[in-house]
Structure 1
Amino acid sequence: MMRILHVDDESLILELTQLFLERTGEMQITSCTSAEEALGLIETAEFDAVISDYEMPGMNGIDFLFELRSAGIPIPFIIFTGRGREEVVIEALNQGADFYIQKGGEAKSQFAELRNAVRRAVEKHRFEQEVRESERRITEIFHHLPDATFAIDCSGKVIAWNRAMEAMTGVAAGEIIGTGAHAYARPFYDVSRPSLVDALLHPDEEVPSSYTLVQREPGLIIAETAEASLNGEQVVLWAKATLLYGEDGNVAGAIESVRDITAQKQAEKEVISAGEYRRTLIEAHIDPLVTIGPDRRISDVNAATEALTGRTRDTLIGTEFCALFTDPVGAEEAYWKVIADGTVREHPLVVRGVDGGIRSVLFYGTVYRDGEGETRGVFAELHDPLPGGEGSGECGTIGSPLAEAVSGIVAASVTAGSADAFLKAALEAVQDLPEIGGGCIVRYDEHGTLSVVRQEDCGPFDEIVPGLQGYEGSPVAPFAEETRDGRGDPVVHLPLTDGEEALGLLCLSVRVPDLSVYEGHVALDLSADLIGALYVQMRRNREGEAAERIAALHFDIVAHDLANAVSAALGYADLIDEMVDGEARIVAEKMTRAIRKGQEVIRNLKTLRKIGEIRNGTAALQEVSLDAAIKNEISHFPGIEIAYAESGAVVLADDLIGEIFWNLFDNSVRYSGKGVSILVGVREDGDRVEVMVEDDGPGIPEKICEDLSSKVRGHGLCIVRDLAACYGGGVSIGDRVPGRPREGAAVGITFRKAEGGWSSSVGLSGEDVGVPETRV
């Protein structure tokens, strides 16, 4: 119902107009006889439009309109008067009148024209209000984007600069909006220069050499640069540029989002450095070292293991550990004893080399755990037996004190679930030396306060530890040759250092009368250096992981809020789409498609973060019913013909498995229309399960197949590819009808069949996963 205020000093006109306009039931008329009275009514009630005479006692219709517009009241206004002078018409329209209708003539036609004018004015006003509200919400979304973002038009002038950009650069939006000549680059590079948006708006131009290109496709460029600075400090920036479209569907400019990834890049370097450092230590170890997964398959070895077995690292990884030995059953028993007891020492086994030769070894095993303390496998060392110990299962100290200590410390760095657990395990490794009576580790925090890490049986050190306060920060430990523990044994204090300052002390009592002639002293010094270096690295890794967890939490919060805002915007866009027609409907449909694309981007971002968790080993795989996963995603596509016969298959995956089928179904509908027919089939083959999704659409373009075979990430089939790889499977693409690419597509996804038992954590880095083999 439209509420209309009619102002005229002639009562008969008021009554006649009310009679004609209220006949259809779509309008409700309120009448008054002066502009002054009308102003009072507008203050106390809401109206959708005003019909006003021009010539009235006191304030005329034009003055009345001027008062409304001066007060900021944009209500639709129709002049309905018997005065037809051209200058009155022009003045009315100049003051903001929507229509000018002249009284007189045939009443039915006259009031039909007035009714149509009112209806059109009200609908136009409501549409403009909805558009303004939608634009306001979109503007709010833009300003609340977590990434610093700006936009330029096709001429290069800045047209938007959000709050995150203000915070990052210190440049207020009011200072830079409207400027051109690459002014948006100055806060980052101290000079005006082309940026990523310029390369996007001008495809014939190259991306500036200061950027490292990450991804480029029509309408999108993602790159990184290390040549920027913020607040006088060199930073690494991630930037994404996308095209901006106007209401007519043509390119109106470009948007660039910028993110400071300096800390992330530094963390990546430290993680790589830590991995290289640990790898170097493992490779330098003189004894064979083997990491065994929960499926009893080898996940890593060092060069000494290659030499022992005569096989390369690549051929060993993935093979059954127990198959290396002449007695696989005995090796499996040793493995399960480690799982049950936490450690096994000096278990005799015989290795069979690739050339058929055999060699006796002693198996040392300990469990390794994830950050939650869950057992994830076994870390094993294979030592040569000492003379006289063969067959007894017992042996003395293996090798020199240095070899024994390094072996235990390196094993601790691999198996410990935290930096504190590493210190305890490393201390235990050193205390296993026969000449060490007891010990503890004194650790200093950033305030110089000491805390003690010790094993249960570490000797009577309670009287010694308080005297160690005050040595924090010094790379030189107090000389302790005259210090004795409660048993009377001499005590040595060894600094745990990162190379510059002492983070703590390794305190050991030695069962020798004179430390000055103790031959193992150098070995203990080196052990302490190794413990200090690995402890610092592990602590930095944990700090990096904590920062990543905080960043992930922030991402989840922002993604949730952004998803809600986009959903609200989509709701308003759908309302506008229902309310308008013609050209306005086309614009509304384009706005709806753009907002839906935003929803898809948010969904893909969440999926990519979860894929990252799987690659980093922080998400465990579990048994998942294919029937439940596929049927759940089918329910999200009502009205689409999707045929699926239940299979009862159970695979290793997680709660993201649905994203595989959602993306495949969505691609079929997107490229083939709602009339597409989709067929889903399941086939089991040994320890693998293959799901085939076929449609009768136009097939998959060759360009998309090329992208799938590259390292492009983040959309459609690429997400299907990455998830399949994380689950230990792969993707194949073909024609539904062989040799006829335009008669439909067939996409196959393979999974590992779940056989019960272990809940397997993938534990792969991004480099380990890489790009899976994709058969096209």
Structure 2
Amino acid sequence: MITVLLVDDEPNLLDLTQLFLEQDPEIRAITCSSASDALKLLTERQFDAIVSDYEMPEINGIEFLQRFRQAGGKTPFCIFTGRGREHVAIDALNSGADFYLQKGGDPKAQFAELRNMVWQSVKRWQAELALLESEEKYRFLADYSLNGVMIQDFTGTILSANRMATEMVGFDDPAAMIGRNTFEFIAPESQGQVIDDLSNVLAGKSRYEARYRLQTCTGKKRWVKSIGTMIEYRGKPANIVSLQDITAEENYKEAGVHYEEQFTRLFSTQNDPCLITRIGEGDQVLIETGNRAATELLGYTEEELQQMPLHQILHTSLDFQNLGDEDQANGVILHRKDGNIVHALSIAHSIVLEKKPATMLVLQKTGSKFPSFSAKGKDLHYQAMMDSILAGVMLIDAKDHRIVDINAAAAWMIGTPAEELIGSRCQDAICPAERGRCPITDLKMIMDRSERVLITADGTRCSILKSVSPFWIQGHQYLLESFVDITDRVKAEHAINQANKKLNILSSVTRHDILNQLTVLRGYLTLTEDAAEDAGISETTGPYLRQIEKVARTIRLQIEFTRDYQDIGIQAPGWHRIGLILDYVTSRLDSGKVVVENTIGGLEIYADPLITEVFYNLLDNALRHARLLTRITVSCRDVPEGLIISVSDDGNGIPLKEKEKIFERGFGKNTGYGLFIIRDILDITGITIQETGTFGEGAQFDLLIPEGAFRFVDHKDEGHTIQPDQSDIPGTPYRSERRETEPRSERSSPEGK
């Protein structure tokens, strides 16, 4: 007899699950209506298995599982839920679930599978318990033995020792250790720690790890790493210890201390100016100290330099977190205490001081200067033009990211006078990007009407639409940045998204409740059918019960349709590579010997993110319904209205009278909703669809992409024939026979309309 804990907030479903499980006379089911009650019950009694729903108030099934596992619970756990999303199953298994089963199938088969899962998990757990019990006394040696192994009682008397432990303390024969006290071999400075560790283990601590100093029988000192835990030895509690000799490691550390003392003396007497820096909170680089030459060059005392942010005196593009082992030289500008500027060459060395990484900067004065714009050189017409532009405009030095010029609109958005911004680094003043990770100069991104963030003088993060154009003046590179404030638009979009999210949550909860009740209804129908058969009246009641079952299935399909339909239009449209979508879709479908041919090249279209489901449904419909099908072809062609993408096959085709009906809700042999949803997904960005094939020759769905909603990019991976069942690469369902496709020029994008 095994005992199973059932947890579900639906009383009817809880009772039904209990009824089905207890049809097995070897199963007894105990029910709980909430995870919190179940957690409390689990502290009071043991169960052989737990079966829990996912969607429950306060604590859902995954959180219940995680809390139970974190508390040390090992009992087999099954998530039994109506939520069929893939990520729920992944979360459940990653959190320690033994099984995951979705509700909603045929009740008899579904509950039989649940019983089977329960028995499998219980038998496996019982086998693991038996193995753990048999290995308990020996498992510690296998897991933690480093070199020496010793067993002692809690007075310190040695009960057993292996040869390596014996040699560590200077004896030759392990038998000579038995009966001696451990403290004979512990140096006085470590004895207090040993007493504390033994006391903690005796008080219930599972294990400890520590470093002790031993003294051998000849008086020689050794350092050891010790790992200990409590066991039962010959019917009494004892402490088993694994020992590793780390004397060489400790001697190396002591040598490192001497090295650092020598380095400090050399640093202070170095003729070149030197600074030691470390990375502090918020990845800010702080000066730890400077030598005498550095204080003379910068005009600060050593005390003033300590903990000063480096950027106050030195501007550099070095990435201090990723310097590597090689020294790096960089031109820098030094700001002295008296306000004067010094041009210098900075050489950065990665070092380790006091067991922590640091950077030493060696500074060498130079006579070179960096190109700059002077206020005197500005043309009055140029200045008038800059200040008349309503968008913010800035000129940035691409090398050191300093603001060279800025117009009135940009200064107003930032909230700082233009003259105060000129000369400052954009990453220190207005840009949230980390140093060394500039999207343009470091990450090589193209920024054209991209949504970014601008930090104002009071720290507010404003949403902006930004474009950046690099250009050169007298051999020096600059960045021309222009941007407009879109904060109000972003806030409005966020408010709409939040409202949609709340509506979707409400719909999901309602749908979950209805589907649970349908599961209960179908379960009781199954029990009624069995009872009618046992009573000999199934011929009379059978037709009525089957009709009720048919209606229940129809209701379920209609409810599931609302789940698919609610996702349409939630995410913003974007550009999608059709070749990659087709590869992904084909990998998900069982196409058998049907060849899927893609001849569209590097085509991208502007569409709702659910465009993947559009192509999935079109290919799935062909594979599911077309008779004598051997090939599906995806192609495109220009038309005066834009571009047509055709998905055609060589199957039997669609009769003329059904060509428009197939897009109506409820029409079809499967769920009846696929093409109806497809039309609405495409309509979001103005794409239309119609069936243009010839009955008897094959079906053809034409998607008309309007001007500005498509473009061709040179993606060499697109434009190939997919041959299912010919994979020669492990893990891939097909191989690609590449065909070169000529890229075409990009047309205008929707953002430009």
Structure 2 length-normalised TM: 0.26
